[in-house]
Amino acid sequence: MGFTQTIGTTRYVFPDLKTLLARATPFRSGDALAGVAAESAEERIAAQRALADLPVRRFLSESVIPYETDEITRLIQDSHNKTAFAPIRSLTIGGLRDWLLSDAADTTALAALAPGLTPEMVAAVSKIMRAADLISVAAKCVNITRFRNTIGLQGRLSIRLQPNHPTDDARGIAAATLDGLLLGAGDAVIGVNPATDNVDAVLRVLDMLDRLRIAYGIPTQSCVLAHVTTTMRAMDMGAPVDLVFQSIGGTEGVNRSFGVDLALLTEAHEQALSLKRGSLGQNVMYFETGQGSALSADAHHGVDQQTLEARAYAVARRFSPLLVNSVVGFIGPEYLFDGKQILRAGLEDHFCGKLLGLPMGVDVCYTNHAEADQDDMDALLTCLAAAGVTYVMGVPGADDVMLAYQSTSFHDGLYARAALGKRPAPEFEDWLHRMGIGNTTETIPARLSPTLIGLA
Amino acid sequence: MNAPSKWRDLRRFTDARVALGRVGNALPTAAHLDFQEAHARARDAVWSKLDVAALEAALTPNGLPIQRVTSQAEERRRFLLRPDLGRKLPEGATLPKAKGSIALVVADGLCASGVQQQAPALLAALVPALAKAGFTPGHIIIAEQARVALGDDIAEAMEAAAVVVLIGERPGLSATDSMGLYITWAARRGSNDAMRNCISNIRLGGLGADFAAAKALWLLVEARKLGATGVALKDEMPSHYRLT
């Protein structure tokens, strides 16, 4: 049972829902690589018109990947909340777009709707929205999480401090962390991507970050972004684990390529909860995602990369995470070729995550083989700040010397907060004042003496 | 050492861009332009082209036949958009048979200038060592618009025992001259990354050519005993291991 749409004298036929979604997707290189993109601009708009006429209910009866073969589809279907869905059950995708943009869809209504939305519905409506639409609706979504501070309040913009070092050198990490704190970053998390997944190395960094946090009395959380099994081993050994990190995707197959499944994530989540380390709340998970990961793992089932990305958020929300971010420009030009494609994908990912109820951040980033530069990142960062992004990254000088890509800098975080009138998480903002962190760039306030964190 | 009290003293502890200063919420002009220069160099490196004639001249002293190929990607933009094509030889491409040899592929990858700079010194060290260790160093294949797995097609066409691919690594802001080396025993089309061993960061300020060549030889000697590279072959090269 397919879909048809006539434009002029041409009748376009889309044999199934996943094909319709793929052909309706604004162009990006990854869908062309997968062979699922529209062949022409006219075919794309035909698919978008057909999609706009589709009843939202249809997404409850047809899956893009079969229920029997994919545990993410089962998660999506089995956790769908029909009561929350009721207000939109008679709408089309086009009607849903209109309602989302209307005044009736306020913060309270959107929060109530979230459990009634599936990733595919949200991806579908995003495909017929412009950047301004994606920004306007996301800005109305407020998804608050807590561990040692409060993340996601309206008018706030948090920063993940990302002090990576090519050899996980403790003093190198400490110096980059202090640099970031002095520039107001670190309220989302102080999170290190380890150079290796070696358990001993991860234990050393976990221990060092925890001592640093305590020495300065920072109301925040730390994380070493190792594989979930490495972090579980670290917890077994009594390591100070605040947040459990894992990269996730939108199909069972891509998650298997990451070495995880829902059962393993459930086990890790329960183990982290049992540590009871959060003082304000128990959101203990941190997930990263990104368009193209499923194609990269040859586990995409002919579904477009943006729909699969939205499906990853179903995995995330099952575990009530503190933080989720798309690493939007990291994957490379064969998936998102240039600044235009990265901009669009970053806004889609943020919109979809927020609408599904997640504390959505974005790693505004690019690699040197993508057609992108700092101007593109400034544009995306500014749009995301206007859209109320929960957090962005803070990397010294925007140059990650371990992962060899460019993300947003501590300075960029200050810029975005100033340009859009955003403030840090309240507990962290109070701490910045107490520590005497201000606008000077010469001396370090005495309360933040580098000797306290092993820098002498 | 005294405890740093000046912000700029943090630079002692890391090569990350810390203590850059601040004008309002932005970078001071000098730091801003430093970044832009690094990015400009990285961009140029991605789009750099192998100087094949110069490379051939630099590799001729090894005394091995040299052959040129271009992958199915043909040109740079297509190479960036279609990684699958960068892994395939053109249909009908002919390469000489060199059964049982070690095929040596010099590939542009994501940074032609990197492999252009690093490959001659590495091969000058590796080729004589291979012969001494009882291997037959085969042809040197200069490959354009090439990904690592193009070596699999090359090895299959030549019936090589193994392929060593020297390839330009994606440029970062701090290094635009870096080369990687991938060894695949019994490489054939469809060999995957779990079947390879890799030595990365071969450059000035990274791994030296002699050290990288010694590691490559050690891995090849072990691979010959094991009949395999990849996850089965752990890099346990003794620290005293040398080429001669």
Helix (H, G, I), strand (E, B) or coil at B171: coil
Which CA distances in Å does A304 have to A26, A30, A33, A362?
A: 11, 8, 10, 20
CB contact under 8 A, A443 and B7: yes
Reply yes or no on whether the pLDDT at B2 is more than 90: no
Residue A456 in contact with partner chain B when CB distance is under 8 A: yes
Q: What sign for the dihedral angle of Cα A35, A39, A43, A44?
A: positive
Compute the half-sphere exposure of residue A233: CA atoms within 13 Å on the CB side of its CA: 13
Q: Return the number of other C-beta atoms located less than 10 Å from residue A147's C-beta.
A: 23
Residues B153-193 have pLDDT tens digits of: 999 999 999 999 999 999 999 888 999 999 999 999 999 88
Q: What sign for the dihedral angle of Cα A25, A27, A28, A34?
A: positive
pLDDT number for residue B179: 96
Give the span between the Cα atoms of A299 and A291, in whole angstroms: 13
CB contact under 8 A, A171 and B13: yes
Which residue among A183, A334, A449 places its CB closest to the CB of B3? A449
Give the span between the Cα atoms of A85 and B137, in whole angstroms: 67
Rg (chain A; Cα; Å)? 22
Choose from A374, A408, A411 for mutation: most chain B CBs within 10 A: A411
Residue A334 in contact with partner chain B when CB distance is under 8 A: yes
Reply yes or no on whether the pLDDT at A441 is more than 90: no
Q: Spell out which residues of chain A touch residue B20, defining contact as CB-CB under 8 Å.
A: 396-397, 411
CB contact under 8 A, B25 and A415: yes
Reply yes or no on whether the pLDDT at B242 is more than 90: no
Strand partners, A13: A4
Query: Can you say whether residue B41 is alpha, beta or left, with left for phi > 0 and alpha for psi between -120 and 50 degrees?
Result: alpha
**Structure-block tokens of residue A397:** 């000088």
Residues A37-91 have pLDDT tens digits of: 999 999 999 999 999 999 999 999 999 999 999 999 999 999 999 999 999 999 9
pTM surpassing 0.90?
A: yes
CB contact under 8 A, B13 and A164: no
Give the span between the Cα atoms of B226 and B53, in whole angstroms: 38
Compute the half-sphere exposure of residue A277: CA atoms within 13 Å on the CB side of its CA: 22
Residues A274-288 have pLDDT tens digits of: 999 999 999 999 999
DSSP 8-class letter at A27: P
Give the span between the Cα atoms of A250 and A51, in whole angstroms: 21
Give the span between the Cα atoms of A230 and A196, in whole angstroms: 11
- Which amino acid type is present at position B17? R
Closest C-alpha to A273, from A283, A263, A264:
A283
Closest C-alpha to B13, from B4, B25, B22, B5:
B4
What is this model's ipTM? Answer: 0.95
Helix (H, G, I), strand (E, B) or coil at A403: coil
- As a whole number, mean pLDDT of residues A309-320 equals 98
Q: Spell out which residues of chain A touch residue B12, defining contact as CB-CB under 8 Å.
A: 175
Residues B92-140 have pLDDT tens digits of: 999 999 999 999 999 999 999 999 999 999 999 999 999 999 999 999 9
Which residue among B18, B35, B82 places its CB closest to the CB of A175? B18
Q: Are strands B162-168 and B179-185 parallel, antiparallel or unpaired?
A: antiparallel
pLDDT number for residue A144: 98
DSSP string, B201-224: EESTTSB-HHHHHHHHHHHHHHHH
**Residue A293 confidence class, pLDDT cut points 50, 70, 90:** very high
Q: Spell out which residues of chain B touch residue A334, defining contact as CB-CB under 8 Å.
A: 80-83
Q: Spell out which residues of chain B touch residue A33, defining contact as CB-CB under 8 Å.
A: 81-84
Which residue among A175, A367, A373 places its CB closest to the CB of B13? A175
Residue matched to tokens 């160093």: B137
CB contact under 8 A, A373 and B39: yes
> What is the distance in angstroms between the Cα of A447 and the nearest Cα belonging to chain B?
11
- Which amino acid type is present at position B31? A
Q: Spell out which residues of chain B touch residue A336, defining contact as CB-CB under 8 Å.
A: none
Taking a C-beta distance cutoff of 8 angstroms, is the pair A31, A25 a contact?
A: yes
- As a whole number, mean pLDDT of residues A103-112 equals 98
Closest C-alpha to A218, from A172, A243, A187, A177:
A187
Choose from B33, B173, B207 for mutation: most chain A CBs within 10 A: B173
Q: Find the DSSP H helices in A217-278.
A: 228-236, 252-257, 262-275
Q: Spell out which residues of chain B touch residue A455, defining contact as CB-CB under 8 Å.
A: 3-4, 10, 13
Q: Return the number of other C-beta atoms located less than 10 Å from residue A6's C-beta.
A: 11
Residue B226 in contact with partner chain A when CB distance is under 8 A: no
Choose from A164, A399, A442 for mutation: most chain B CBs within 10 A: A399
Q: What sign for the dihedral angle of Cα A100, A104, A105, A109?
A: negative
Give the span between the Cα atoms of A162 and A193, in whole angstroms: 8
Residue A442 in contact with partner chain B when CB distance is under 8 A: yes
Taking a C-beta distance cutoff of 8 angstroms, is the pair B20, B27 a contact?
A: yes
Give the span between the Cα atoms of B152 and B95, in whole angstroms: 13
**Structure-block tokens of residue A388:** 């109320």
pLDDT number for residue A142: 98
**Structure-block tokens of residue A324:** 């989720």
pLDDT number for residue B174: 85
Taking a C-beta distance cutoff of 8 angstroms, is the pair B192, B132 a contact?
A: no
Which CA distances in Å does A335 have to A173, A304, A408, B145, B167?
A: 31, 11, 20, 18, 22
Q: Spell out which residues of chain B touch residue A367, defining contact as CB-CB under 8 Å.
A: 170
pLDDT number for residue A1: 64
Which residue among A183, A401, A443 places its CB closest to the CB of B174? A401
Reply yes or no on whether the pLDDT at B244 is more than 80: no
Reply yes or no on whether the pLDDT at B1 is more than 70: no
First-to-final CA distance of chain B: 42
Which residue among B27, B45, B81 places its CB closest to the CB of A29? B81
Reply yes or no on whether the pLDDT at A125 is more than 60: yes
Give the span between the Cα atoms of B1 and B9, in whole angstroms: 11
- As a whole number, mean pLDDT of residues A350-376 equals 98
Which CA distances in Å does A254 have to A69, A229, A260, A289, A292?
A: 13, 17, 9, 11, 10
Which residue among B25, B172, B173 places its CB closest to the CB of A411? B25
Q: Spell out which residues of chain B touch residue A171, defining contact as CB-CB under 8 Å.
A: 13-14
Closest C-alpha to B38, from B173, B147, B155, B170:
B173
- As a whole number, mean pLDDT of residues A162-174 equals 95
DSSP 8-class letter at B177: S
Residue B45 in contact with partner chain A when CB distance is under 8 A: yes
pLDDT number for residue A94: 98
Taking a C-beta distance cutoff of 8 angstroms, is the pair B196, B184 a contact?
A: yes
Q: How many percent of chain B have pLDDT more than 90?
A: 86
Weakest mean pLDDT among A137-141, A163-167, A322-326: A163-167
All residues at 6 or more sequence positions from A257 whose CB lies less than 8 Å from its CB, including other chains: A249, A297, A299
Q: Spell out which residues of chain A touch residue B13, defining contact as CB-CB under 8 Å.
A: 169, 171-172, 174-175, 455
Q: Spell out which residues of chain B touch residue A157, defining contact as CB-CB under 8 Å.
A: none
Give the span between the Cα atoms of A47 and B226, in whole angstroms: 54
Give the span between the Cα atoms of B56 and B139, in whole angstroms: 12
Phi and psi at residue B129, in whole multiples of 5°? Answer: -65, -35
Residue matched to tokens 């929350």: A84
Residue A375 in contact with partner chain B when CB distance is under 8 A: no
A35: closest chain B residue by CA: B82
**Residue B3 confidence class, pLDDT cut points 50, 70, 90:** low
| Inter-chain contacts counted by CB atoms under 8 A, chains A and B | 139
Residues A371-383 have pLDDT tens digits of: 999 999 999 999 9
Give the span between the Cα atoms of A444 and A406, in whole angstroms: 27
Give the span between the Cα atoms of B179 and B173, in whole angstroms: 15
Residue matched to tokens 């107001």: A184
Which residue among A166, A398, A451 places its CB closest to the CB of B35? A398
- As a whole number, mean pLDDT of residues A292-310 equals 96
Q: Which helix (H) or strand (E) holds A244?
A: strand A244-247
Taking a C-beta distance cutoff of 8 angstroms, is the pair A410, A183 a contact?
A: yes
Q: Looking at chain B, which runs of residues are DSSP E strands?
A: 66-70, 102-107, 137-144, 162-168, 179-185, 196-202
Give the span between the Cα atoms of B227 and A293, in whole angstroms: 32
Residues A207-255 have pLDDT tens digits of: 999 999 999 999 999 999 999 999 999 999 999 999 999 999 999 999 9
CB contact under 8 A, A456 and B12: no
Which carries the bigger pLDDT value, residue B234 or residue B44? B44
CB contact under 8 A, A397 and B35: yes
Residue B235 in contact with partner chain A when CB distance is under 8 A: no
Residues B61-99 have pLDDT tens digits of: 999 999 999 999 999 999 999 999 999 999 999 999 999
Exposed / middle / buried, residue B94 (Cβ in 10 Å: 0-12, 13-18, 19+) = exposed
Which residue among A32, A404, A441 places its CB closest to the CB of B172? A404
CB contact under 8 A, A337 and B26: no
Reply yes or no on whether the pLDDT at A418 is more than 60: yes
pLDDT number for residue B243: 83
DSSP string, A70-120: -HHHHHHHHT--HHHHGGGTT-BHHHHHHHHHSTTS-HHHHHHHGGG--HH
